[in-house]
Chains A and B, each alone.
Chain A
Amino acid sequence: MSDSSESASVSLKIEFSGGLELLFSNQRSHKLKIPAQVPKTYGDAASDSDNKPADITFLIHYLRDNLLKERVELFMENGTVRPGILVLVNDTDWELEGEGDYVLKDGDEVVFISTLHGG
């Protein structure tokens, strides 16, 4: 039987690139821990019966509320990342991993890259 405290949180490495780091204390790399089980609807109180494993949608909301310092509209729109921001999970496009529904695992690396400074 596994120790419940080991699965209580998930450790992640978050990277920001393409100018996004300016919104997150000008820091490119962040290490954080998020709960392994989260409410199905972000913002609801935690309960034993109505939870889901932490996914990228939860992570995006979590970053907005805990790390983002300014200009929410440059990072998030309609419950997901703003158009023009790419997300890589362990060096793989999140579109291959189910986008916001990807369930985060301990040690995952999530990269947010902004493409909005043109070409």
Chain B
Amino acid sequence: MSCGNPVSEEDSLMLRRTKYDKTRICGKCRTNVGNVVIRHAVYCKECFLPNITTKFKRILEPTINVNGTRKKGFKPTGNLCVGFTGGLGSTVLLDLISDCYYSTPTNEDVLKGGKDHPRNAGVWKKATVCYVEICNALPGTRDRTEEVRDVVEQYKHFDFLPLRIENAFDDMWWEKVGGQRSELSLKVDIGNEELVMIPQPIESRDPVAALLAYISALPTQTAVPSAIQNLVRLLLLRTAWSTDSSHLLLGTCLTSLSVSLISSISQGGGFVVREEAQEEWQPTVSSGSRRAIKVVRPLRDIGMKECAIWAWWRGLKVVGKESFLGGKQGIGALTKNFIVGLERDYPSTVSTIARTCGKLAPKDNSEAICLLCERPAQPGVQDWKARISIRSFADPGLASPPPHATNVVSNKTDDLSGPSLTPYLCYPCHTTLTSRSSRGSTASALVNSTPLPVWVAPQLDGKGIVEEWGSRKMERSDMKQSISEFLLPDEDS
């Protein structure tokens, strides 16, 4: 083979490198001809399916028992909750859980003691599949609840529990899942970087209207999918808590995990990079001493290609889910395009992303929890932000604001007319609510009175903020002023 001109010399065209190593024979059994290539390794159909099951169990099973071992069988401390989106990963997850932990042998001889004998019961006593419908956050998209119900009800061991994303602004739902009642309702001025909080008396509100007000107040296209993802996550966690679940399983596959890791880090979520893969959560305000919920992603070693092949060969119906990555130029969409392209051309790099992020840990621990996402919040973030960037067009360091900034608003903290939410937020949540695009804000005009999800206000009750609103000692001069018309004049004056 020469290195000549491919146009004139046909032999000089370089041979394309194969996507698999060595031969087309299955690398596991070394007998059958391979059917699929996964990260340069060849598998036949008979070896591929058990390989997926092994990877799934290897992630999940060490988390089932409290001490991580399984010498005496699986004894989880609570029930199971599965987050289902209708997407490929969660469809595969449901099938794997059913197949591994709830499948009933049809041969009666195998069922010693009968099908209701504890020996033949599933690992978790109760398994709930939770689906959050997001169509009301994305006008124009269809409601897929019934399609999802049809898929879930094929599995007899699972209870289907549909939620709606507007539940995040629904006080009745909050009460139903055991949420602590707050004395005041909470709105916030998103137009002000300090996120001044505005107390409101508790009154009934339309959850859908509140949700749309929240979404439309967000400043950038990227903020919308981040906010929706956060709301869905908290809805699932609260539901898992209310169903006495010890485990919340999510169908994030390796490819999706790599996308969410890079996307989250791009938006300032580096401090919680470990929590993106696996975390333990319990409500900030809770009664009793129940153990935390383990949030596990058992498909995090299984790529999107493997999930698709599993779904095809098992004949699974995938409902699909809305793509809401914030438009073509949103960080989520750009990241996904990049990672999916990488997976096709350099498949091993995608697992490298997840593996490398799994080795990262923050330098300092933090006891603070973000009120919005209920994840660890890095301390000193606001001071750091103030030191490193010009964040306001009113900054004295700027000679003049750019042409498109027609309303330059002073952002001084002395103008605060109420407590600020900013100190109680983590970096990515604060960025989601306040970051401004260089092309101008996408937020609607009415951003100065934006509702917040129902779980935020109760967390402020113990921080003295509500007490400050509730009663405050007046100055002597103010007291005199308020009753001045009833005071008798001084005899000496």
Contact = CB atoms under 8 A, between A and B. Distances in A.
B35 A115 contact: no
A51 interface: no
Contacts of A115: 88, 255, 304-305, 307-308, 340
Nearest to A88: B312
Interface in A91-119: 91-93, 95-96, 99, 111, 113, 115-119
A17 B313 CA distance: 12
Contact of B88 (A18, A83, A88, A99): A18
Interface in A49-93: 83-84, 86, 88, 91-93
B283 interface: no
A39 interface: no
Nearest to B252: A119
Nearest to A77: B341
A96 B19 CA distance: 8
A83 B256 contact: no
A92, A95, A113, A116, most chain B CB atoms within 10 A? A95
Which 10 residue pairs of A and B lie closest in terms of their CB atoms, listed nearest first?
A119-B89, A95-B19, A119-B253, A118-B87, A117-B320, A119-B256, A83-B344, A93-B36, A115-B304, A115-B308
Given A18-B318, A118-B87, 17 more contacts: A18-B88, A18-B311, A83-B337, A83-B340, A83-B341, A88-B312, A92-B35, A93-B37, A95-B19, A99-B19, A115-B88, A115-B304, A115-B305, A118-B89, A118-B256, A119-B304, A119-B307
A84 B323 contact: no
A99 B86 CA distance: 30
A84 B307 contact: no
A113 to B, nearest CB: 5
A117 B253 contact: no
Nearest to A80: B344
Interface residues of A, number: 20
Contacts of B299: 119
Q: How large is the interface on B (under 10, 10 to 19, 20 to 34, 35 or more residues)?
A: 35 or more
A116 B311 CA distance: 13
A35 B191 CA distance: 63
Nearest to A99: B19
B20 A117 contact: no
Contact of B312 (A17, A83, A95): A17
B157 interface: no
Interface in B7-50: 18-20, 24, 34-37, 42, 45
25 contacts: A18-B88, A18-B311, A19-B320, A83-B337, A83-B341, A83-B343, A83-B345, A84-B340, A84-B344, A86-B308, A86-B309, A93-B35, A93-B37, A95-B20, A113-B308, A113-B312, A115-B88, A115-B305, A115-B340, A116-B340, A117-B86, A117-B87, A118-B321, A119-B88, A119-B251
A88 B312 CA distance: 10
A63 B344 CA distance: 21
B167 interface: no
B331 to A, nearest CB: 16
Contacts of B36: 92-93, 96
B312 A111 contact: yes
A95 B87 CA distance: 25
Interface in B229-253: 251-253
Contacts of A84: 304, 340, 343-344
A117 B88 contact: yes
B24 A96 contact: yes
A118 B299 CA distance: 12
Nearest to B36: A93
Contact of B37 (A18, A83, A95, A113): A95
A84 B87 CA distance: 14
B267 interface: no
Nearest to B317: A17
Nearest to B308: A115
A117 B321 contact: yes
B87 A119 contact: yes
Contacts of A99: 19
